[in-house]
Amino acid sequence: MLTIAAPSTVRPEPTAGAAVATAVDSGVIAVDPLRPTERLDLDDASAQTDLWARVRLGLAMPDLDNDLVRKWEQWYASKPEYVQRMTERGGRYLFHIVEEINKRGMPTELALLPFIESAYNPQALSNAKASGMWQFVPATGRDFSLKQNVFRDDRRDVLASTRAALDYLQVLHGMFGDWQLALAAYNWGQGNVQKAITRNQKAGLAIDYDSLRMPDETRNYLPKLQAVKNIVRRPQAFALTLPTLMNHPYFVSVALDRDIDIDLAARLAGLPLEEFRQLNPQMNKPVILAAGTPQVLLPYDSASQFVKAIAQHRGSLASWTAWVAPKTLKPTELARQVGMAEVQLREINNIPKGMLVKAGSTLLVPRNARALADVTEHVAEHAVLALAPDLPPMRRISFKAGKKGDSVASVAQRYRVTAAQVASWNHTSVGGHFKPGQPVVVMVVNRPAQPATRVAANSGPRQLAHPAAPARARVAQN
């Protein structure tokens, strides 16, 4: 059974969901994700209020007024198409974020922060591996309970990342007692801001945002936000037009209790796939696992259609499932065991060539008659993919350098490996030399023993064939 429920970070109760489903059918939906008993009639005057006016009403941070603010005002004003694109995209999420900010008593400037972080793109990924509209790096995301596994990355989740960002900003405000310093710490790290404050205190200098020594990115961070704030406050002064946003939710949540393919979910909701992904960008794979993602977000116009369509759907909802590798295997063997082409297995699970899949790794594989059950909560929540280089087995050889000594280069040439490898194995330099009698270590490919060579009866005792010369070794990089 699937039911519509108010957006929440926990699994909705079926009875509450059913009540909200009835409300949606009648044109009334839940407003507050954490207070689902409150309802909003979309024809009511409060719902038709300009959301930008609500943002302006909550602006509470001191204004900056300097050359950097002017610079960024001009930059945005010179790119009206960019401003239009990012404000239209942000319109999907702004009501929810303003609601969350108002509940916490925080300044509504913070609802504009994703314009600076990601241009309100929930699928943004920076060079520093920061992800989502609020741009969490992996470690900070984990600190604020944003799950990152094979199947999903909650740094991109609209509800979860907003909750985490506001939690983090409140922690930073508690540390510094100042929203401008809290924002500097959000961008630069609280440790760096604290060091800058301490440095100024020791020098007898002021410790406000403008007085601290900080990198250019952080120095420009608040002026960018101030420029966007000024544009939201008076768009006409910059010859810009903001899209019309009404004071009601763009989306509601729909509870899931069955795994479902993403493309099927989008079709049942009557949405283009890209629009569905804009509201549910946390998915890493083409299937949503209900045990890990018990709800999806849909525009409220699409929510009722989705519930009705899925109730009438016949056949499987998911064509994919999870499979845990019982031991370390080559992708070729894995593909054979799960019944799919190796190239498809590699592509959908992001397995590069030359890698082994380690035991305990979770792979996405086609669902078949032997695997019809939905993925368990343990797998959905803890799925990892661990890879290791597929290297030939190696054998360690130890010997002593000759009476005249040996160079790293000569040992490398003798055993057909690189000088860098010999240097690494022996903790010396590439151009180094071994003293006479000094122990030397090399790693060579462990070739199977050669069969005994049959010789004529009168040719003397039987001898084993000499093993082939060592081939070029391949070693894992630490």
The active-site residue out of 88, 100, 117, 217 is 117
- Residue 323, classed as helix, strand or coil, is strand
Nearest of 385, 409, 98 to residue 246 by alpha carbon: 98
Query: Could you give the CA distance from residue 279 to residue 306 in angstroms, rounded to a whole number?
Result: 15
Query: Could you give the CA distance from residue 471 to residue 125 in angstroms, rounded to a whole number?
Result: 42
Among the ranges given (188-192, 444-448, 474-478), the one the predictor scored with the smallest mean pLDDT? 474-478
Q: What is the pLDDT of residue 457?
A: 39
Contacts of 168 (CB under 8 A, 6+ apart): 140, 144, 186
310 token code pair: 């899925």
346 token code pair: 């590699």
pLDDT tens per residue, range 316-337: 999 999 999 999 999 999 999 9
Dihedral of the alpha carbons of 422, 428, 431, 434, in degrees to the nearest 10 = -80
Q: What is the pLDDT of residue 344?
A: 96
Q: What is the pLDDT of residue 49?
A: 77
Query: Could you give the CA distance from residue 31 to residue 84 in angstroms, rounded to a whole number?
Result: 26
Q: Does 333 participate in catalysis according to the annotation? A: no
- Kindly state the DSSP code that residue 42 receives in the 8-state scheme: T
Query: Could you give the CA distance from residue 348 to residue 397 in angstroms, rounded to a whole number?
Result: 41
Q: Does domain 50-238 have CATH number 1.10.530.10?
A: yes
Under the banding of pLDDT at 50, 70 and 90, the label for residue 305 is very high
Q: Is 418 exposed, middle or buried (0-12, 13-18, 19+ CB in 10 A)?
A: middle
pLDDT tens per residue, range 82-129: 999 999 999 999 999 999 999 999 999 999 999 999 999 999 999 999
pLDDT tens per residue, range 371-428: 678 999 999 999 999 998 887 778 889 999 988 889 999 999 999 889 999 999 999 9
251, 297 Cβ separation under 8 angstroms: yes
- Where is pLDDT greater, at 105 or 459? 105
Look at residue 17 and tell me whether its pLDDT is greater than 60.
no
pLDDT tens per residue, range 224-265: 999 999 999 999 999 999 999 989 889 989 999 999 999 999
What's this model's pTM, rounded to 2 decimal places? 0.78
Nearest of 252, 277, 416, 388 to residue 331 by alpha carbon: 388
Domain ranges of the chain: 4-43+247-312, 50-238, 320-389, 392-478
